[in-house]
Structure 1
Amino acid sequence: MSVICRKAQPNDVDALYELIQDYAAKGIMLPRSREALTRNINNFVVAQDGDKFVGCGSLLQLGSDLVEIRSLGIADGYKGQGIGSRLVDALLEHASALNIPKVMALTYEVHFFEKNGFHVVDKEIFPEKVWTDCVNCPKQQCCDEIAVVRMIEPAKQGEQLSFAQI
């Protein structure tokens, strides 16, 4: 397997849309329109095995010191191979390069995030998230996702964001 992690490109929108819609249909990820994906393409990283799209994740800046990992998903047949952790590492590098020290996520996969250095916290400590996405979520009044957070070090001056092979 020669999976690489890289910044998303505009020609990735359809593949991003299909993977995210698959998760959204299962009720475990919020759907994203092609237009929204196109507008936010610079916030996405993708995992690719040859010419096959196998995973994605993105960052959303919620405040001057807070970003959210969102739309993190792996294609069927590629789960359990460390690709999700590699995508998270790339997103953490991106947050570090932006000098944002706090990275959060809302998830059903708590063990995965704990394995990647995150800690469970009360989701009400993130009013930025509540007013960004939660107000439009059908599960707003009965949210069953768990909030996780990880503190990271900002990048040293001159460090570049890099996406390594995974």
Structure 2
Amino acid sequence: MALSVSTVCRKATVGDVDTLYELIQGYAEQGIMLPRSKEALHRMIDTFVVAEQSGVVIGCGSLCKLGQDLVEIRSLGISDGYKGQGIGGKLVDSLMEQAKELGTPKVMALTYEVEFFKKNGFTVVEKEIFPEKVWTDCVHCKKQHCCDEIAVLKVLN
């Protein structure tokens, strides 16, 4: 009988910065996530949640406030070898709880993993409905004029 290992999601701490950096950098090198410096991760650590198994961080995600009624899921990633086990869904659930606690009714993401977000209750929308995102991040992105990410949105009840 296989021993089941449970995944726990928790708020990230400064002690997680190196692991977060490595995880995000792996995605950034593939061109599917914006890179984050260790300095930026230190500044934003309170926006991150991590997924952990047996004390090892195996996934992360963050929530960025873009406006009074809008937050964005960012830097959502899972370590190789742990994908397809529902860990991403647990991270999204944890971030949704944070959004509810903030009283923010709309959660968006820009993604290449549309089906994953659809399974988690998001709907595909036009990027242009998020001027908050365009003017805070997209203006600095090298893909600004040829962005191929898909915008998704979930409205919380």
The answer to whether 1:145 aligns with 2:149 is yes
Aligned partner of residue 22 in structure 2, secondary structure: helix
Task: Name the TM-score, length of structure 2 as normaliser.
Answer: 0.96
What is the distance in 2 between the residues matched to 1:90 and 1:114?
17
Percent identity (aligned)? 69
> Match of 1:111?
115
Aligned to 2:28: 24
Distance in 1 between residues matched to 2:82 and 2:119, nearest whole Å = 18
Q: Deviations over 1:104-162 (max 9, x none)?
A: 00000000000000000000000000011101101001000000000013xxxxxxxxx
For 1:130 and 1:106, locate their aligned partners in 2 and report how far apart those are by CA, in whole Å.
11
Instruction: Tell me which of 76, 79, 89 is aligned to 1:75.
Output: 79
Which runs of no fewer than 5 residues in structure 2 stay unpaired?
none
Q: Deviations over 1:77-111 (max 9, x none)?
A: 00000000000000000000000000000000000
- 1:92 aligns with 96
The residue that corresponds to 1:159 in the other structure is: none
* 1:13 alignment partner, one of 6, 10, 17: 17
The CA deviation at 1:2 is 2.1
Instruction: Report runs of 4+ in structure 1 exceeding 3 Å deviation.
Output: none
RMSD: 0.5
Alignment TM-score, normalising by the size of structure 1:
0.91
Q: How many residues align?
A: 153
The structure showing larger relative contact order (alpha-carbon pairs under 8 Å, at least 6 residues apart) is 1
The aligned residue for residue 139 of structure 2 is 135
